[in-house]
Amino acid sequence: MPSGTSTGSVPGSKGRSMRKPLSEEKITALHGAGGELMNRLVAELRELFPLRAAGEVGLDDLDDGASLSLPQGEVVVTTDSHVVKPLSFPGGDIGKLAASGTVNDLAVMGARPVAMTLGLIIEEGFPISELKKFLSSLAEVLREVGAALVTGDTKVMGKGEMDGLVMNTTGIGVAERIIRDSGLRPGDKIIITGPVGDHGMAVLAAREGIPVEGEIKSDVSPIWPLVERALSIGGVTAMKDPTRGGLAAALNEMARKSGVGITVREEEIPVRPEVRGLAELLGISPLNLACEGRAVIGVSPDRAEAVISALREHPLGRDARIIGEAIPEHRGKVVLETRVGGRRYLEMPLGDPVPRIC
Amino acid sequence: MTAVTDPFRLRDPARAEKLARTLRRLAPGRAVKLVHVCGTHEAAIAEHGLRSLLPEGVEVYEGPGCPVCVTSTADINVAVKLALEKDVVLCTFGDMLRVPGSELTLEEARAQGADVRVVLSAADAVRIARENPRKEVVFFAVGFETTAPATAAVLLGSPPHNFSVLCSHKLIPPALEALLRENTAVEGFLAPGHVSVIIGADAYRELARKHRIPVVVGGFEPLDVLYAVALLLKQLRDGRAEVENAYPRAVRPEGNPKAKELMGRAFEVVDAVWRGIGTIPASGLGIREELSRFDARRRFGVEAGVGMEEPPGCRCPEVIMAKAVPTDCPLFGTACTPLSPVGPCMVGAEGACAIWYKYGERPRL
């Protein structure tokens, strides 16, 4: 993407015919070298984004940076690098993932996404048609939530020096009221907005070529529209998106930071049968698998049912459920009531069972 | 196994509630210590929080059920020596790499340049031997009656001349007997389903009769385990000491004759040292004289002393002897975690400490 500071990182780069249509070309070192070839690439790619400014200076200005005119409120900033493998998987691709992941981090802090930046690091030889496809997915997410792509950067690395494509994003949003992951109070109901583990399992199955009966699709999607509904009802005390380490990691973090205990009922936690079956086969807990389109929401008990009703009106929230509550006992721990009625702690996973999922 | 059963059927909340009620009716009204000897049982108990469904006073311990955990330091020392000094390719199961020997783990030996490889089976090690005809390849064989038949099959299947086995296989029934001698509080055994598939439910008859102790063979789904415990409590209530098979969909009275025959042809029963317990007579498998050319101990003439067992503070020996649960150990979850294990029970995936850590298990929650 543009930015006058971009420089190619590959010495001795070879030029290529510039008359070929872009769609047939592959990325060369020159595409990241800040010259004419890069400008041509950027000019074509930026057309994919309907919203390209959120202030005086935007993407089209190709200036050293962008400027933002933000509405009243607390400004929230988040940053992320996306290294998913494979780049396309059932239900999404790296573009949709990069935009959703960024928007969702803003959303669970209570912030409406306003703008995003995009840094691309591309391996030499990467097909430009693929790049366009991924950027279209990314643009689609931004369009959905009404956020602008305001500035970016492109770097090319030599063949074999990296694995295809890496995206780095920074998201900027504005919140009327900041929601933390540390705000739970005893008595608050814990809501999950949909089935857990879809993303982690979809990426794992795609990467390892595991044949799956009935496709397992990633849940990757921007959850701001869903979160906005919950916030409009009121009573939201804490939020977190259960990405790496899944629901188990998110709940443990919320319990620790809030200084409360959490109990959840396994029977109430939605898990798709395909995901549950494959997880069982692989010896992985679905509660440790990442989601990319879900939120864990803490709500004061008097508003919980109203929030659930509001969430269920949105397609992404159809399966929203109350899965448990915050309690004064077991501070910093999560108690799982198992399907068969037993009790144990749901521990913070040592790490995500699947690497390179986001 | 003859029939594939939908595992989730055996996690049905309504049936579980019924079994829990049965268990409450069978509450002995006093402290009762039961022992299973299987990491898979421990994982099922911990993952589904089954301890919290048992009647007051009924406690279930893992005992010597983790093959990696009971492998003696002497055997690990021999493996380390072979790998470091004899220029062999040492193949073994993944969990073995991090178990502390007297000085080094196999992982540390590998860091010092030894060729230590993780395999999933004895046959994998044979494949490596065929692919490296100029190298000596040693399979460090650990495990109970579940993995021993596979090692036997490899030994009897004319393996290549450059292949040998460092045999550390162990037998479950003698370990149960040794446990009863050391820990008189044990009142019943939940016998391991996988081992029993091979040796059969009848293999425990002598033990039950001689020690007047109830034995119930159990499966690995939560309802399997609860049902087996209910049968044990019923026997105790009725003053019976019998062998019952609560896992008939996989276990036959006579076991698997073919697997037993393979073991009998490849191995002879020998005394064996169990980590945390000591020497148990007739509790291990050694390679038969006729196959001694594949015995790594004889081929390389390597022996090693036992040396220090567990570091100070580590209560693995008591965990293995069903005298302590993992959370009784002051190191559990603090100095000793799966990322930096102190004792073998935190290393092996079947070790009680590793399982309690993973599933957040507590004696009562």
Over residues B202-227, mean pLDDT: 97
CA distance B360 to chain A (A): 4
pLDDT tens digit sequence for B55-76: 999 999 999 999 999 999 999 9
Chain B environment of A334 (Cβ under 8 Å): 360
Chain A environment of B223 (Cβ under 8 Å): 340
Please check whether residues B19 and B34 belong to one and the same domain: yes
Interchain pair B359, A344: CB under 8 A: yes
Smallest Cβ–Cβ distance between B7 and the set A267, A280, A346 belongs to A280
Per-residue pLDDT at A31: 85
Please check whether residues B78 and B135 belong to one and the same domain: yes
Interchain pair A343, B49: CB under 8 A: yes
Please check whether residues B109 and B58 belong to one and the same domain: no
Q: How many CB atoms lie within 10 A of CB A63?
A: 15
Per-residue pLDDT at A20: 56
Is the pLDDT score of B137 beyond 50?
yes
CA distance A266 to chain B (A): 10
Please check whether residues B131 and B264 belong to one and the same domain: yes
**Helix (H) or strand (E) run with residue A168 in it:** strand A165-175
Contacts across the A-B interface (CB distance below 8 Å): 67
Q: Is the sign of the CA dihedral B241, B246, B252, B255 positive or negative?
A: negative
Please check whether residues B109 and B190 belong to one and the same domain: no
Per-residue pLDDT at A85: 93
Peptide bond into A86 cis (omega under 30): yes
B363 is a domain residue: no
Share of chain A above pLDDT 70, in %: 93
Per-residue pLDDT at B7: 60
Residue of A nearest to B43 (CA): A283
A252: three-class secondary structure by DSSP: helix
Is the pLDDT score of A272 beyond 80?
yes
Is the CB of residue A270 less than 8 Å from the CB of residue A196?
yes
Domains and CATH numbers, chain A: 22-175 (3.30.1330.10), 189-345 (3.90.650.10)
B21 is a domain residue: yes
Chain B environment of A337 (Cβ under 8 Å): 49
Interchain pair A340, B11: CB under 8 A: yes
Is the pLDDT score of A7 beyond 50?
no
Report chain A residues touching chain B, CB-CB < 8 A. Answer: 267, 276, 280, 333-347, 350
Amino acid at B48: H
Smallest Cβ–Cβ distance between B17 and the set A338, A341, A343 belongs to A341
B44 is a domain residue: yes
B307 is a domain residue: no
Is the pLDDT score of B3 beyond 90?
no
B323 is a domain residue: yes
Total domains in chain B come to 3
B319: three-class secondary structure by DSSP: helix
Range of the domain at B78: 69-172+256-300
Smallest Cβ–Cβ distance between A343 and the set B7, B17, B365 belongs to B365
Predicted model pTM = 0.88
Please check whether residues B227 and B325 belong to one and the same domain: no
B256-260 long-range contacts, CB within 8 A, separation 24+: B256/B149, B256/B197, B256/B198, B256/B200, B259/B145, B259/B149, B259/B198, B260/B149, B260/B198, B260/B199
Per-residue pLDDT at B4: 44
Interchain pair A340, B338: CB under 8 A: no
The model's confidence at residue A187, banded by pLDDT at 50, 70 and 90, is very high
Q: How many CB atoms lie within 10 A of CB A86?
A: 12
Smallest Cβ–Cβ distance between A342 and the set B50, B339, B357 belongs to B50
Please check whether residues B324 and B195 belong to one and the same domain: no
The CATH number given to whatever domain includes residue B92 is 3.40.50.11740
The model's confidence at residue B276, banded by pLDDT at 50, 70 and 90, is confident
Is the pLDDT score of A213 beyond 60?
yes
Per-residue pLDDT at A23: 52
Please check whether residues B279 and B349 belong to one and the same domain: no
Interchain pair A341, B359: CB under 8 A: no
Chain A environment of B360 (Cβ under 8 Å): 333-334, 336, 344-347
Last residue of a domain, one of B199, B216, B241: B241
Please check whether residues B76 and B133 belong to one and the same domain: yes
How does the average pLDDT of chain A come out, rounded?
A: 91
Per-residue pLDDT at A3: 43
Is the pLDDT score of A152 beyond 80?
yes
The CATH number given to whatever domain includes residue B207 is 3.40.50.11750
pLDDT tens digit sequence for A88-143: 999 999 999 999 999 999 999 999 999 999 999 999 999 999 999 999 999 999 99
Chain A environment of B13 (Cβ under 8 Å): 267, 339-341
Report chain B residues touching chain A, CB-CB < 8 A. Answer: 7-8, 11-13, 16-17, 20, 46-53, 222-223, 226, 338-339, 357-362, 365
Through-space distance between the first and last CA atoms of chain A, rounded to whole angstroms:
21
ipTM over the 0.90 cut-off: no
Over residues A258-280, mean pLDDT: 95
Is the CB of residue A295 less than 8 Å from the CB of residue A193?
yes
Please check whether residues B76 and B167 belong to one and the same domain: yes
How far is B159 from B111, CA to CA, in rounded Å? 29
Please check whether residues B236 and B103 belong to one and the same domain: no
Is the pLDDT score of B266 beyond 80?
yes
pLDDT tens digit sequence for B253-265: 999 999 999 999 9
Interchain pair A342, B222: CB under 8 A: yes
Please check whether residues B261 and B235 belong to one and the same domain: no
Is the CB of residue B84 less than 8 Å from the CB of residue B111?
no
Best A263, A344, A347, A350 residue to mutate vs chain B (most B CBs within 10 Å): A344
B231 is a domain residue: yes
Best B48, B120, B361 residue to mutate vs chain A (most A CBs within 10 Å): B48
